[in-house]
Amino acid sequence: MNMNIDVVREVLPEKNKEKFDDIVFQRVLGASKHINMIADMIESIALEGRKKQSDTSVIVDNIQTLTHFFISTRGEASQAIENAINLMTKNIDDVRKLKINEAVTKIIKIKDNYLLKANEDLDKVVNHATKVAEKMRKIMVFDYSSTVDKFLKSIKPLSGDLTVIIPESRSIDGGQAFVKTCIEAGHNVKFIPDTGIMYFLEDCDGAFLGAETFFPDGTVFNTTGSDIVGLACKEFNVPLFALTPLIKVDIRSIYGYDKELVINDLKGRLAGNWHEEEIEQVDFECPELLGLDPKYVTAIITEEGKIPSNQLFNISINYHKSLKGDK
């Protein structure tokens, strides 16, 4: 679906337009954060509609305009976005026949119920991950993930001392966001260019990254550069763990679906100081996400625990059935 950004933006109350822009222009990173921001926007549309005493169908239409936009844009990179939106707006068409106060209350309740469960699942992921890492003295974390960020805040190494190696993740500026978290948590921090991944990884006890989405076969999709981390981990026999709640599973791969690459133009990030005539003659396009083959991933840590990447299939299928209400 190709939607005009300005048209979608206009369905939002003024105070929420900055959140919309933060997602669209990648000023805020992480699928989990984006889901929470979209949830806020859904609630704001409902409350604004009630304030203006809008027709219930107008409120529903505006919410669907917003959510369809994010499914067709962010959802292409992260299946979690689509899964979460579908749960937050489940049966939303049914509220069209309700009076406005009842309709708004129901919209917000469905959204809140999803967020409550999602937060419980995230806490479980973090708890499992901290147990995996508690004996480690030096780890590497790649890119930005709100799940990994929460893990870094929570980990309490048994040694009392943890060094965190953070590559810059240059294609999306994803690494720097971890620095403040690690400093506040009392960890030792080393920030490196992503070209130094292989050199510094050899001395690590483990590496951790998030996932925008994953396939039931254990393939993990994450920011470009994750494949380099995977290769280096394999070479040096350093365990690599992907932290993700099961909501991020993309089940379509078992039906022959091939994930299309999302391509970003990085000239603004890579060529800010170049001359215009040079920029015009250079291609700066780069994939946003790449698939990391399960052979490079030691385990995927979910709310169900630490699962070897080649053992994820049945858990993924059963989880997908639970989303649809199947037994």
Q: What is the pLDDT of residues 188-204, one digit of tens each?
A: 999 999 889 999 999 99
Cβ-contact 91, 60 below 8 angstroms: no
Q: What is the pLDDT of residues 280-294, one digit of tens each?
A: 999 999 888 899 999
Cβ-contact 284, 267 below 8 angstroms: yes
Q: What is the pLDDT of residues 115-157, one digit of tens each?
A: 999 999 999 999 999 999 999 999 999 988 889 999 999 998 8
Is residue 327 pLDDT above 80, yes or no? no
| Upper half-sphere CA count for residue 227 (Cβ side, 13 Å) | 10
Residue 323: the pLDDT is 76
Cβ-contact 206, 131 below 8 angstroms: no
Work out the mean pLDDT of the chain and round it to a whole number: 91
pTM value is: 0.80
Residue 295: the pLDDT is 97
| Upper half-sphere CA count for residue 289 (Cβ side, 13 Å) | 26
Within 10 angstroms of residue 73's Cβ, the number of other Cβ atoms is 18
Is residue 76 pLDDT above 50, yes or no? yes
Q: What is the pLDDT of residues 18-68, one digit of tens each?
A: 999 999 888 887 778 899 999 999 999 999 999 999 999 999 999 999 999
Least confident span in 166-170, 173-177, 233-237: 173-177
Q: What is the pLDDT of residues 173-192, one digit of tens each?
A: 677 889 999 999 999 999 99
Could you give the CA distance from residue 121 to residue 80 in angstroms, rounded to a whole number? 13
Whose structure tokens read 């059935």?
321
Domain residue spans of the chain: 5-120, 122-323
Burial 114-123 (b: 16+ CB within 10 A, else e): bbeebeebbe
Q: Give Cβ neighbours of residue 36 (< 8 Å, ≥ 6 apart).
A: 115
The structural architecture, per CATH, of the domain 122-323 is 3-Layer(aba) Sandwich (3.40)
Residue 1: the pLDDT is 43
